[in-house]
Copies of this chain bind each other. A is one copy, B any other.
Amino acid sequence: METVPSLERFRRRDWLKTEPEGSVRFALVGLGSFTREWIIPALERSTYNEATCLVSGDAEKADRIAEEHGVGSAVTYEGFLDGTADDSYDAVYIATPNALHLPYAEHAAANGKHVLCEKPMEATADRAREMVETCEAAGVTLMVAYRLQFNPTVRWVRSLLREGTLGMPVHVRGAMSQDIFEAISPDPNQWRLDPELSGGAALADLGLYPLNTSRFLLDADPTEVTAQVSNRHDAFEGVDESIAFTVSYDDGTVGAYTASQRSDVTSHLHVTGTAGTVRLEPTFFGEVEATLQTDEGTLTVEPGEENEMIEEFDYFASRVLTDVDVAPDGRHGLEDMRTIERLYRDAGLDLG
């Protein structure tokens, strides 16, 4: 397809405007499997970052992992909030249970440290708003870790949409689901199923991916939303086991989505316009493959070598080191928190 923009520009870090000097020293707060298996290795391979402090509820665990990876500082959550490790880091990556994000962001901001916070930002929109306001008042950078936004294939698809390759976007269709008892933990009391700690299960943990990636691709925000929840298993009392939802975007596109924590795996995002369809499939659990279909034919993009986490952290560092604003920033993440709450309200789910 001659009229399609090249993917190469996005594989060569289209976001890198100015080569930064130095690097960002990161404190990693929360040493769950995602931090251990994805973030620490990503930082080891990143260009502008290093992990210099590990923070866990379990002092022994923090020490052990720090030693394994040659990280200089290891502290408990309490030690971190007491300021014990303040000199060891320039920025904090927060990957605790959702309802515990805010205090670590507040401590970082109060000490002039920048914040990269996992999604969803917090358990409630109110607490996410507090995080935004605290970081703004302190003049520190706050970014939300929407890793898909740093995937070169996703960024390329966004450029297709901007250049009108699909005509006018009409529909977005997204799905993300897993069996949480197989994929994460068999424990029915895990924090992701506790409404106070998580702020929701299927939508807040999974459905947020296709929702946020839609916003990114369309460069549009939700106007109206509707949702329906289906709960069958006792472990999901107070949170959503499965959800279907629709979102109208301010460009006139309408989206239909599904997410579930007790389902066969699904992972895709399709955008259909007046002149074609692009399918990102799989999308959300790692490798991203894209298929573009228009009157000109079909173009398939195989998963590249890129690592979303390396891209995300290097982007963040490049902005912090050159004092440039980030996207997706805290206000972008806060918009999602508000949308999540509106969707749960529409579904009649009371998260307390």
Point out residues on A near B: beta carbons under 8 Å.
166-168, 170-171, 173, 175, 177, 179, 224, 226-230, 232, 242-248, 252-258, 260, 262-264, 266, 272-277, 293-294, 346
Contacts and interface: CB of A to CB of B under 8 A. Distances in A.
Contacts of A230: 170, 248, 252-254
A299 to B, nearest CB: 15
Chain A to chain B: the 5 pairs with minimum beta-carbon distance, closest first: A226-B226, A256-B256, A244-B254, A244-B246, A244-B256
Nearest to A241: B170
A230 B272 CA distance: 14
A177 to B, nearest CB: 7
A272 B173 CA distance: 15
Nearest to A226: B226
A244 B346 contact: no
Contact of A245 (B246, B263, B276): B246
A257 B167 CA distance: 21
Contacts of A243: 254
Contact of A227 (B168, B175, B226): B226
20 contacts: A166-B264, A170-B230, A170-B264, A171-B175, A171-B266, A173-B175, A226-B246, A229-B254, A230-B253, A243-B254, A244-B246, A246-B246, A254-B258, A255-B258, A256-B257, A263-B273, A263-B274, A264-B272, A264-B277, A264-B293
Given A171-B175, A171-B177, A175-B272, 20 more contacts: A167-B264, A170-B177, A170-B262, A170-B263, A171-B258, A173-B256, A175-B256, A179-B274, A224-B228, A226-B227, A226-B228, A227-B246, A228-B247, A230-B253, A242-B254, A244-B256, A245-B246, A256-B257, A256-B258, A262-B274
Q: Is the interface of A mostly helix, strand, loop or mixed?
A: strand
B277 A266 contact: yes
Given A246-B227, A256-B257, A272 B177 contact: yes
A252 B256 CA distance: 18
Nearest to A263: B170
B170 A242 contact: yes
B253 A245 contact: no
Contacts of A173: 173, 175, 256, 258
A189 to B, nearest CB: 21
A264 B258 contact: no
A245 B229 CA distance: 14
A31 B228 CA distance: 41
Nearest to A294: B264
A317 B277 CA distance: 41
Nearest to A262: B274
Nearest to A249: B230
Contact of A264 (B229, B246, B273): B273
A218 to B, nearest CB: 12
Contacts of A294: 264
A160 to B, nearest CB: 13
A236 to B, nearest CB: 12
